[in-house]
Amino acid sequence: GENVEQHPSTLSVQEGDSAVIKCTYSDSASNYFPWYKQELGKGPQLIIDIRSNVGEKKDQRIAVTLNKTAKHFSLHITETQPEDSAVYFCGPGGGSNYKLTFGKGTLLTVNP
Amino acid sequence: DVKVTQSSRYLVKRTGEKVFLECVQDMDHENMFWYRQDPGLGLRLIYFSYDVKMKEKGDIPEGYSVSREKKERFSLILESASTNQTSMYLCASSLWTGSSYEQYFGPGTRLTVT
């Protein structure tokens, strides 16, 4: 099965700084690479995803980059704001079924 | 607007009780999932279903069973609740669109077994 590692487990930045979270996976059949954000008291919500035929995707202040050869992808958040404070999960999948395998999460704290 | 609802936000049960957690989605999604979320362990898949009456074990199915009699409803059953099943339980649904396996999550049920 898929083995997913996510780093760092906690990240504290000053408002306006950038934040980067990395996800490493093991299944070479994975072809879908999403990032989810979970705010306190809510379920996770997709914020950005990328398919394996694309190396980078941007949506305003967030971006995802994929290195399929090295089997890792990263979430980049620029100009961080306090409302970016949340737990972020990577969840690669899309191999033989509809499953996603989630990392253990990264608690991002943006200090005003 | 996409919606996944779970029957309870908080639930307290006693050891040995049979517990039902209900999940309903209104998006006509084929796939539904049950996860448990514990601090430091992330989201772990318990069971998933890719069609009505079809189910597959996830990574931690022991002590759980599921039921999917209708497309929109997926139930998680704890046959005999134990204290180590105290956790946050999250339900999700998805539909393969040809480009995305996006899963839509409910708000979660925090279950305490005493």
Indicate if the pLDDT at residue A23 is higher than 70. Answer: yes
Indicate if the pLDDT at residue A106 is higher than 90. Answer: yes
In the structure, what pLDDT confidence band is assigned to residue A53 with cuts at 50, 70 and 90?
confident
Q: What are phi and psi of B83, to 5 degrees?
A: -60, -30
A16-26 as b/e: b if 16+ CB within 10 A: eeebbbbbbbe
Indicate if the pLDDT at residue A48 is higher than 90. Answer: yes
Please indicate whether, in this complex, the C-beta atoms of B41 and A104 are within 8 angstroms of each other. Answer: yes
Predicted pLDDT at B11: 97
In the structure, what pLDDT confidence band is assigned to residue B98 with cuts at 50, 70 and 90?
confident
What is the overall mean pLDDT for chain B? Answer: 94
* Contact B38/A at CB under 8 A: no
Indicate if the pLDDT at residue A97 is higher than 80. Answer: no
Nearest CA in chain A to B89: A43
Predicted pLDDT at B51: 87
Tokens for A33, please give them: 């690479």
Indicate if the pLDDT at residue A57 is higher than 70. Answer: yes
Residue pLDDT, tens place only, B66-78: 999 999 999 999 9
Predicted pLDDT at A94: 81
Please indicate whether, in this complex, the C-beta atoms of A43 and B96 are within 8 angstroms of each other. Answer: no
Write down the residue that tokens 């539909």 correspond to. B95
As a whole number, mean pLDDT of residues B47-74 equals: 94
Indicate if the pLDDT at residue A95 is higher than 70. Answer: no
Predicted pLDDT at A96: 63
Please indicate whether, in this complex, the C-beta atoms of B101 and A44 are within 8 angstroms of each other. Answer: no
What is the overall mean pLDDT for chain A? Answer: 94
For residue A44, list chain B residues with Cβ-Cβ distance below 8 A.
43, 90, 105
Task: Report helix, strand or coil for B84.
Answer: helix
Predicted pLDDT at B10: 97
In the structure, what pLDDT confidence band is assigned to residue A1 with cuts at 50, 70 and 90?
confident
As a whole number, mean pLDDT of residues A11-18 equals: 98
Predicted pLDDT at B96: 79
Residue pLDDT, tens place only, B10-36: 999 999 999 999 999 999 999 999 999
Is residue A103 within 8 Å of residue A8, measured between CB atoms?
no
For residue B99, list chain A residues with Cβ-Cβ distance below 8 A.
51
Please indicate whether, in this complex, the C-beta atoms of B108 and A43 are within 8 angstroms of each other. Answer: yes
What are the percentages of helix, strand and coil residues in chain B, rounded to 5?
Answer: 5, 55, 40
As a whole number, mean pLDDT of residues A10-20 equals: 98
Nearest CA in chain B to A98: B101
Q: Which of A100, A106, A107 to mutate to test the interface with B (most CBs of B within 10 A)?
A: A100
Please indicate whether, in this complex, the C-beta atoms of B4 and A43 are within 8 angstroms of each other. Answer: yes
Nearest CA in chain B to A1: B59
Segment B59-64 long-range contacts (CB within 8 Å, at least 24 positions apart): B59/A1, B60/B36, B64/B34
A41-67 as b/e: b if 16+ CB within 10 A: eebbebbbbbebeeeeeeeeebbbbbe
Nearest CA among B74, B104, B107, B75 for reference residue B88: B107
In the structure, what pLDDT confidence band is assigned to residue B57 with cuts at 50, 70 and 90?
very high
